[in-house]
């Protein structure tokens, strides 16, 4: 009976009800769109950076990351790459052998980072082949290298020239090689473009006297939200004396910038929620004052204040539900459209994105929890406005209300 009475009451004044529901409707759309753009941009930035080089996760010797020493390497055969690749949400797994050496051509010498890779797995995981701008990609068993475009320019190298590599191998031995340059790759980040050299993994193992050994295994996922799940799965199947580190450890600057921006985004949402609360409170205030005389008559004829509160609360719930649900339905096509057609950034802001190897766009997230969480917050704010009717009716005297 109370539900029927509440439903009829809210449509007695359609204009007032539509205004209140519209307040919730636009509040939900604004909150969902803002949060979707914010979280979508974070996910895109993390995914682009992880695919760029580091991956979401890496399997390493526990002492490797701090010292980056070849002495803290791993046995390649101790890991089953096919089993790792078969885990849920894993897009690619690739082994690497990384070392720093002197690189020379003619009279010019530079310090560079040499990375031994499994070419097919590396391309599947990081899309390395797509960065090739000249020459050809590596094969698994050849004695050759592909280098960064900036490094090739500094050394004066071209396709077919021989690169001299000289450094320290495993157990302090000498690593030296003369490698033909097969291809040139381009990275938007200058530091990588000016230092990276890729070799087939077997070639790198021979040069650094590390047969069957690697320094890390890069794991690429289909999204950051599956990070903890994937890490738990990896820890169950890798040897106990290895560890799994995530992109947050490998890329602390990116993680900190996202955390800082997320806090500012939450503050903006908090301000939005305050504006929403005042808007809804004004609507409820208008509704209660308009019905002052009605409430006084109901109390005078014997209706308990608790029942009036129950009906009034039901009305507020109905209005909030109508606004929240319609807001979700209104935001859904908007978010889905921008998920498929991201907003492109131009000007100076675009160049700052490109410096990190990230396409300059604002991507949106269609994660269902965004819709639910923002609609729930706005719905709870709407319910919080019920505090005013409670105090209003508690102090309301029938004779004063009927003569108001």
pLDDT for the residue 207:
95
Which positions ≥6 away from 403 have C-beta within 8 Å?
none
pLDDT for the residue 349:
66
pLDDT for the residue 398:
66
Helix residue ranges, H only, 238-367: 247-250, 252-290, 292-300, 305-340, 348-355
* pTM of this prediction exceeds 0.85: no
pLDDT for the residue 100:
93
Give φ, ψ of 79 to 5 degrees. Answer: -120, 135
pLDDT for the residue 400:
64
pLDDT for the residue 258:
85
Segments of the chain with pLDDT less than 50: none
């Amino acid at each position: 009976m109370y539900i029927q009475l509440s439903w009829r009451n809210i449509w007695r004044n359609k204009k007032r009800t539509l205004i209140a529901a519209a307040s919730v409707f636009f509040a939900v759309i604004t909150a969902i769109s803002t949060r979707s753009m914010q979280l979508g941009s974070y996910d895109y930035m993390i995914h682009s950076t992880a695919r760029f080089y580091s991956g979401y996760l890496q399997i390493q010797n526990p002492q490797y990351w701090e010292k980056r020493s070849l002495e803290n390497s791993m046995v390649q055969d101790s890991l089953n790459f096919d089993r790792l690749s078969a885990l849920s949400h894993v897009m690619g797994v690739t082994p690497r052998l990384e070392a720093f050496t002197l690189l020379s051509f003619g009279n010019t010498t530079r310090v560079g980072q040499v990375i031994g890779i499994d070419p097919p797995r590396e391309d599947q995981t990081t899309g390395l082949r797509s960065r090739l701008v000249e020459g050809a990609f590596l094969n698994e068993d050849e004695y050759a290298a592909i280098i960064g475009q900036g490094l090739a320019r500094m050394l004066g190298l071209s396709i077919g020239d021989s690169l001299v590599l000289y450094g320290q191998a495993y157990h302090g031995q000498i690593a030296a090689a003369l490698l033909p340059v097969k291809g040139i790759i381009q990275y938007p980040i200058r530091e990588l473009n000016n230092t990276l050299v890729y070799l087939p993994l077997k070639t790198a193992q021979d040069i650094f006297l590390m047969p069957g050994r690697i320094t890390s295994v890069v794991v690429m996922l289909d999204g950051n939200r599956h990070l903890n799940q994937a890490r738990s799965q990896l820890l169950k199947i890798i040897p106990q004396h290895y560890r799994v580190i995530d992109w947050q450890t490998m890329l602390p600057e990116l993680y900190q910038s996202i955390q800082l921006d997320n806090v500012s985004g939450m503050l903006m949402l908090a301000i939005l929620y305050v504006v929403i609360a005042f808007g809804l409170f004004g609507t409820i205030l208008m509704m209660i004052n308009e019905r002052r005389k009605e409430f006084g008559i109901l109390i005078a004829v014997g209706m308990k204040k608790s029942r009036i509160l129950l009906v009034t609360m039901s009305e507020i719930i109905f209005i909030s539900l109508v606004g929240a649900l319609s807001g979700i339905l209104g935001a859904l096509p908007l978010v889905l459209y921008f998920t498929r057609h991201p907003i492109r950034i131009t000007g100076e802001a675009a160049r700052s994105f490109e410096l990190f190897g990230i396409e300059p766009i604002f991507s949106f997230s269609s994660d269902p929890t965004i819709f639910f969480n923002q609609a729930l917050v706005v719905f709870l704010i709407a319910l919080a406005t019920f505090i005013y009717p409670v105090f209003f009716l508690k102090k309301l005297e029938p004779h004063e209300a009927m003569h108001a």
